[in-house]
């Protein structure tokens, strides 16, 4: 039981961490391209800024969805029972 709980926690941590790293890399690349575009054509800066913020919000939604899926897999799938974990911790 403890091994399943431990491995589930590690899997959830990896899932959330990789989603956050991927989003950070994506936003970093997008921000760099935004600055290049603004330096090349300053008259399009307002249009590019609107599109950049829209895409940044969509990219940031991916880790949030990943957190929801990870917590579902951890608690709602039956791999980890909070009541059983409480009893296990109090027995130790």
Query: Known catalytic residues?
Result: 60
How far is the C-alpha of 39 from the C-alpha of 58, rounded, in Å? 24
* Terminal-to-terminal C-alpha distance of the chain: 14
- Give the angle subtended at the CA of 22 by the CAs of 36 and 9, to the nearest 5°: 160
How far is the C-alpha of 61 from the C-alpha of 57, rounded, in Å? 6
């Amino acid at each position: 039981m403890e091994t399943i709980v431990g491995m589930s926690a590690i899997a959830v941590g990896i899932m959330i961490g990789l989603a956050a790293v991927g989003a950070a890399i994506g936003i970093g690349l997008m921000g760099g391209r935004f600055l290049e575009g603004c330096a090349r054509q300053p008259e399009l800066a307002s249009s590019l800024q609107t599109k950049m913020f829209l895409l940044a919000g969509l990219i940031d939604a991916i880790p949030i969805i990943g957190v929801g899926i990870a917590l579902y897999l951890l608690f709602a799938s039956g791999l980890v029972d909070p009541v059983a974990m409480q009893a296990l911790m109090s027995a130790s």
